[in-house]
């Protein structure tokens, strides 16, 4: 077993008090909007365009445009708004700046009070649940049977998992679908080859591990492919075997099942290494839609969405043309009657929309499949299966590159096995942990090494926006400095060590205390957690949360450098600073959990 404890589930809706906390931004926004409509009634519910600012806490930029519209002098309007603002509990100071901006400073009491309310709410930290959550079906972590997993499968799994956590945290109902490649011509080829070479898969006695079974299958796959490509008669026999498979011929089916089962054991072991929970019930591969293929084609043909062309059933698009200028259709059924990838995906859409009642569909798939999805989604729209109420979106991700900036390959030009990369990451991370840790046992180093190494790989992926390529650079990933998960994990562990050192003294909020600049900056940033989570969830953009967490750890470091905690001046100040430490830690912990990354208590 890779990790002794499972990742603490991020707290979901329904499991806590759900006392969502009004953010400071929202409070200020409300006060300014009220003042604005008092000063300029015709502005109605105009947006004051509030932004965080370096000069004050917030800046409102909306007055200029409104004044222009009302043909008023912007500075005068701004002055009138200031006169209307109710100051006191939240707003400390508001002033006109430049041609008509407003600079807003809020009270220390409001900052501490807001954090205290978040702290009270436990792990949800006052993050609200969406008013009208829907049902999202997300297609991610979809490796192929009898084939090794590579870095592309890593991206889909890691990004998909983070999006699942984010959506569930905001109250969305999420159905996971692992659309594994377990169907098609290649299985006829594999099975036929094995029938003709019955000893190729003989195990050297005893059960084999998932990893060994996979490397056997992978070898078999390559051998079968070589014969398939060079021997026409074998090709014919293999094609006939696919027909047997699709018709459910028992011997053929049993062999296929064995490939699938062995591959799945292997996939699960890799997902386990990745510290990800994949439930068997959510693995619905391409074969799962076999019974729907005929009907999908019939519906498309009857509605005229698909037409016959050279014996194949095709869908045409005005804007999809090949290099020769001829249209490139989506082939739903080949001229030999065989179904391909597209027919399966179209059937899966029907299943997800009509049986699973999805209100949105997400596909976490390599950008190189974008044309396929564009055509599949457009076909489904024409058929009426997708519409304005049920949308599909490909969360397309870029390529993982080697240090040379080219797609990641071994020196021999082969794809790199994902397990090898993960093992190496854990090894490097263990070395870092060992060097830093003075009081950890060997078992603890192993466990932390795994948490740090896997976290590093996930974070490197999640901190880049998904559509971009990134370089797989382990040295950089496990570095203690810079935008890495290790940096965040150390920040978290350092806070835990301070809390332990405090002993009997417990964190407690003291809203009456004046705050130092670094404390204010930290507090205001923590207040933004809910907004960032909501944005990352609705935009399917975990990198926004990663950037937020990195900044949180940086602001904490500044606070820690400038503000003594255990040696603060008064007992109240010690408690209040411990409280700031603890809210920071909880925010880091929850944010990292949403990214699927652990935060060990000691490092």
Nearest distance from C-beta of residue 262 to ligand ARG, angstroms: 17
29 in contact with ligand ARG (CB under 6 A): no
- In a 3-state reduction of DSSP, which class is residue 578? helix
178 in contact with ligand ARG (CB under 6 A): no
Q: Where are the alpha helices (DSSP H) in 437-484?
A: 442-462, 474-477
Nearest distance from C-beta of residue 233 to ligand ARG, angstroms: 30
Cβ-based nearer residue to ligand ARG, 220 or 283:
283
150 in contact with ligand ARG (CB under 6 A): no
Residue of 144, 394, 430, 584 interacting with ligand ARG (CB under 6 A): 144
Nearest distance from C-beta of residue 418 to ligand ARG, angstroms: 12
The pair of three-digit structure tokens given for residue 566, joined into one six-digit string: 């255990």
Contacts of ligand ARG in 528-557 (CB under 6 A): none
Q: How far is CA 305 from CA 82, 164, 301, in A?
A: 60, 33, 6
Q: Which stretch binds ligand ARG (CB under 6 A): 138-146, 272-280, 432-440, 459-467?
A: 138-146
Q: Which stretch binds ligand ARG (CB under 6 A): 72-80, 136-144, 327-335, 413-421?
A: 136-144
Rounded Cα gap, residues 544 and 376, in angstroms: 29
Residue of 11, 108, 139, 262 interacting with ligand ARG (CB under 6 A): 139
**Would you tell me how many other CB atoms lie within 10 Å of the CB of residue 389?**
9
**Would you tell me how many other CB atoms lie within 10 Å of the CB of residue 236?**
11
From the centroid of its chain, how far is CA 492? 21
**Residue 180 · residue 143 · CB < 8 Å:** yes
Cβ-based nearer residue to ligand ARG, 267 or 490:
267
Q: Which stretch binds ligand ARG (CB under 6 A): 137-145, 251-259, 566-574, 578-586?
A: 137-145
Cβ-based nearer residue to ligand ARG, 49 or 320:
320
Nearest distance from C-beta of residue 341 to ligand ARG, angstroms: 7
Contacts of ligand ARG in 335-354 (CB under 6 A): 345, 348
Rounded Cα gap, residues 478 and 493, in angstroms: 16
Count of residues for the chain? 603
Cβ-based nearer residue to ligand ARG, 31 or 155:
155
Nearest distance from C-beta of residue 190 to ligand ARG, angstroms: 16
Rounded Cα gap, residues 366 and 351, in angstroms: 22
Cβ-based nearer residue to ligand ARG, 142 or 252:
142
**Residue 602 · residue 282 · CB < 8 Å:** no
Nearest distance from C-beta of residue 133 to ligand ARG, angstroms: 23
**Residue 275 · residue 454 · CB < 8 Å:** yes
Cβ-based nearer residue to ligand ARG, 28 or 348:
348
Q: What are phi and psi of 184, to 5 degrees?
A: 120, 180
Rounded Cα gap, residues 172 and 186, in angstroms: 37
Give Dmax (Cα) for the chain. Answer: 89
Nearest distance from C-beta of residue 416 to ligand ARG, angstroms: 15
Nearest distance from C-beta of residue 345 to ligand ARG, angstroms: 5
Size of the site for ligand ARG (CB under 6 A): 9
62 in contact with ligand ARG (CB under 6 A): no
Site string for ligand ARG, 181-200 (x = CB under 6 A): x-------------------
Nearest distance from C-beta of residue 365 to ligand ARG, angstroms: 5
Rounded Cα gap, residues 250 and 230, in angstroms: 28
What residues form DSSP beta bridges with 144? Answer: 181
Buried b (16+ CB within 10 A) or exposed e, 174-203: bbbbbbbbbbbbbbbbbbbbbeeeeeebee
What does the DSSP 8-state code read for residue 368?
Answer: G
Cβ-based nearer residue to ligand ARG, 52 or 334:
334
Residue of 137, 162, 346, 365 interacting with ligand ARG (CB under 6 A): 365
Rounded Cα gap, residues 346 and 323, in angstroms: 26
Cβ-based nearer residue to ligand ARG, 58 or 373:
373
- In a 3-state reduction of DSSP, which class is residue 394? strand
Residue of 29, 31, 179, 525 interacting with ligand ARG (CB under 6 A): 179
Q: Interface residues with ligand ARG (CB under 6 A)?
A: 139, 142, 144, 179, 181, 345, 348, 363, 365
């Amino acid at each position: 077993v890779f990790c002794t404890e499972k990742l603490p589930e991020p707290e979901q809706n329904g499991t806590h008090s759900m006392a969502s906390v009004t953010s400071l931004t929202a409070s200020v926004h409300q006060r300014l909007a009220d003042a604005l409509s008092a000063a300029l009634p015709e502005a109605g519910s105009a947006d004051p365009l509030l932004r965080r600012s370096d000069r004050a806490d917030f800046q409102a930029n909306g007055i200029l445009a409104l004044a222009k519209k009302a043909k008023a002098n912007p500075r005068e309007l701004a002055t009138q708004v200031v006169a209307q603002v109710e100051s006191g509990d939240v707003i400390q100071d508001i002033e006109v700046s430049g041609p008509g901006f407003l600079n807003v400073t809020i009270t220390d009491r409001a900052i501490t009070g807001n954090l205290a309310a978040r702290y009270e709410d436990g792990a949800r930290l006052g993050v609200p649940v969406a008013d009208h959550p829907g049902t999202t079906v997300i297609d991610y972590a979809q490796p192929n049977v009898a084939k090794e997993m590579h870095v592309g499968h890593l991206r889909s799994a890691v990004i998909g998992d983070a999006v699942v956590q984010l959506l569930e945290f905001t109250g969305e109902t999420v159905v996971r679908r692992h659309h594994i490649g377990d169907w098609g011509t290649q299985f006829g080829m594999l099975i036929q080859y094995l029938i003709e070479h019955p000893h190729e898969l003989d195990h050297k006695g005893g059960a084999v591990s998932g990893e060994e079974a996979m490397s056997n299958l992978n070898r078999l796959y390559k051998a079968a492919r070589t014969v398939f490509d060079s021997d026409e008669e074998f090709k014919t026999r293999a094609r006939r075997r696919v027909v047997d498979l699709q018709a459910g011929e028992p011997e053929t089916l049993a062999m296929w099942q064995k490939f699938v089962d062995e591959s799945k054991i292997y996939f699960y072991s890799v997902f386990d290494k990745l510290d990800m929970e994949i439930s068997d019930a959510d693995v619905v591969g391409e074969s799962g839609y076999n019974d729907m293929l005929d009907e999908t084609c019939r519906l498309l043909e009857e509605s005229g969405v698909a037409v016959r062309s050279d014996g194949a059933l095709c869908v045409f698009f005005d804007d999809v043309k090949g290099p020769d200028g001829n249209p490139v259709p989506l082939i739903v059924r080949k001229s030999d009657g065989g179904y391909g990838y597209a027919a399966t995906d179209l059937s899966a859409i029907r299943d997800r929309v009509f049986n699973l009642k999805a209100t949105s569909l997400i596909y976490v798939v390599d950008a190189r499949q974008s044309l396929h999805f564009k055509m599949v989604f457009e076909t489904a729209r024409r058929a009426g299966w997708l519409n304005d109420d049920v949308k599909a979106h490909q969360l397309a991700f870029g390529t993982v590159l080697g240090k040379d900036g080219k797609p990641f390959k071994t020196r021999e030009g082969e794809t790199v096995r994902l397990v090898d990369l993960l093992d190496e990451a854990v090894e490097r991370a263990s070395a870092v942990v060992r060097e830093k840790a003075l009081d950890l046992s060997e078992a603890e180093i192993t466990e932390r090494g795994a948490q740090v190494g896997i976290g590093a790989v996930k974070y490197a992926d999640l901190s880049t926006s998904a559509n971009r390529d990134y370089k797989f650079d382990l040295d950089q990933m496990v570095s203690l400095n810079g935008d890495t998960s290790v940096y965040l994990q150390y920040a978290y562990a350092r806070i835990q060590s301070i809390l332990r050192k405090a002993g009997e003294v417990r964190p407690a909020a003291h809203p009456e205390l004046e705050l130092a600049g670094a404390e204010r900056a930290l507090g205001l940033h923590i207040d933004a957690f809910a907004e960032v989570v909501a944005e990352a969830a609705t935009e399917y953009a975990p990198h926004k949360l990663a950037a937020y967490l990195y900044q949180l750890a940086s602001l904490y470091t500044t606070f820690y450098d400038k503000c003594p905690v255990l040696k603060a001046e008064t007992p109240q100040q010690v408690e209040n600073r411990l409280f700031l430490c603890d809210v920071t830690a909880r925010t880091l912990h929850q944010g990292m959990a949403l990214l699927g990354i652990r935060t060990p208590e000691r490092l």
